[in-house]
Each structure stands twice: as C-alpha cells, then as structure tokens.
Amino acid sequence: MPHGDAELNPLTRTGELAETAYAKVNLALHVRHRRDDGYHALESLFVFAEHGDLLTGQVRPDGMLDLQLDGPFGPLLDAGPDNLVLKAARVLQAYIGEERGAALQLTKFLPVASGIGGGSADAAATLRLLVRLWDVPVEPDVLEGIALSLGSDVPACLSSVTQMVLGRGELLQRLTVGGLERMPMLLVNPGVGISTARIFAGWDQVDRGPLTAGDLDQLVLEGRNDLEAAAVAEAPVIAEVLEALQACPGVRLTRMSGSGATCFGLFATESARASAAEMIRNGHPAWWIAETRIRAA
C-alpha cells in the first residue's frame, strides 16, 4: 500500500529526514488550446491523496548526490542522473551554491507513468526535503520557479494541496471545494504505463470550455478529462477500470487522472470505498488499488 505522513515516520535514522511524495489526482482536466511555445493551455483541479512515495535523505559532506531505489515499483526506475529526484537535487544544489551533498532513498509505492504525478511528486518532495536537510532559506516563488523547470506538475506538488492549476502549470490558485477535504478516494491502475506525450498528441484539439469547480456537484456535472478519449484509444483497459468504478455503490465521481492510466472514484463514506476496493480486487486481482483520502490543506 502507498505510504502516508512520511515526515512522522519514527523509523528514520539519526540525521535522516523524510518526506511523502503525495499522489496527485486531476479531478478534472480541461485542455483549452496549444500554446505558441508548444505547451498545452490547461485548466485542472488538482487534489492530493494522503499517500504516496517515501523519500528519505541524509547529508553527505563530500558534496556528492546519490539515490537508492526500493519499494514495489522501484525496480522500474533508473537511479541514474536522469531520475527526477537527482535532477531536482542538482538544480537546487547549484542554485544555492550548496557544498554539501545528500544520500537519498526513494521507496516507490506509486505506479510509474500512471497519471498521478509520481515523478513530479518525487521531484517536489526532493526540493522540500533538501531545503530542510541543508537548512537553507529559499523564497517560495524561487522554489516554484525551480520546480517549473523540472516539469509542469512539479510546482503544484510542492504544496500538495487542493488547487486550480492553469497555463502549463505555472499559475496556481489554492481552492476550497466544499465536501472534498478528506473525502474517501479509491485509486485504480490496470498495470499499463502511458506516455503523456502520446496522449497529448492524440487529443482531438476541440476546446470544450472552461473549468468551474464551485462544488462537488458542479465537478460531477460539468467537469471532464479531455485526454480520456485519447488514453482509452491507446489503452482500452482504461474503459474497463472506469466501468468497474462506476458500478460501485456509493461512488460520487469517477474519472481518469491526468493522461492515465490511473482512474479514481470518490465515495460518500469510507465503508463504501472499502466495499468498492474489495469488489474490484475480487474481479481484477492484477490491478493496483489504493484506498486513500483527499489530503487536507
């Protein structure tokens, strides 16, 4: 199961700090147009699960940065210099002129290339952890700029709270949507990796209008994920996941997150979520399932 509240983990060693890289979920994702710079102009409501990957770190006085990987999805990643954790560490180290390094360990609980911001959340957790580990002051807007240089979703993952995300990810508006805080949520991934670039390339380029997220009912009725059709065409099993979630009693909203393939269900009660998880596990034992809640601000 995914990890939660890593910063409170009593198992960390002396001098070691920990951060949770909270899973990002797009409750709605509206693609408005393709910008002149090649990025897509997005309107999306981000929420974050209470669970995610676990990142720990200790200071290395020799200035070196190294990364160890473990966890159920760790073997699917490369711990080399292209890993987003190490990229984030290098960029921050260079910006602040930090002479110390860090020994980092990422326990990967979230599926890879799954539409829930795993890599972006890991990068953001790295920035948060190293600011604490090296005890260096970095202004929030500076840290957001560093985050954006690493990826469009990374700035929102820094705070990991409910927010409207606009542009390519550089415009963030914290948002309170009635009834969402700590709402039971079920994440389901059928075990297929999705290329974000391929899904965006498959978008039909139709602007279906802006996103308004006044309350949950409005999200249900008017929200959508404009990448869903392209993702289903790439991986038809996504439609099966959505059908399985929609068939669960007590579900309020089902949708695909990001560019897929993870889908989510929001439930009125934790007991309804637990029953849904059992039902889907029994029918699809190979699927990855996480019982969680929407993280509070």
What is the spatial distance between Cα 147 and Cα 87, in angstroms, rounded to a whole number? Answer: 10
Q: Which two tokens stand for residue 133?
A: 């580990």
CB atoms within 10 A of CB 283: 11
- Whether residue 87 lies in the annotated active site: no
Nearest to 291 by CA among 193, 192, 191, 188: 188
Question: CB–CB of 111/73 below 8 Å?
Answer: yes
For 62, list phi and psi in degrees, rounded to 5: -85, 0
User: What residues pair up with 284 in beta bridges, in sequence order?
Assistant: none
Catalytic residue among 5, 24, 66, 141: 24
User: What residues pair up with 24 in beta bridges, in sequence order?
Assistant: 48
Catalytic residue among 135, 153, 215, 217: 153
Question: CB–CB of 245/284 below 8 Å?
Answer: no
CB atoms within 10 A of CB 63: 11
- Whether residue 108 lies in the annotated active site: no
What is the spatial distance between Cα 78 and Cα 89, in angstroms, rounded to a whole number? Answer: 16
Q: Which two tokens stand for residue 61?
A: 């006085």
Active site residues: 24, 153
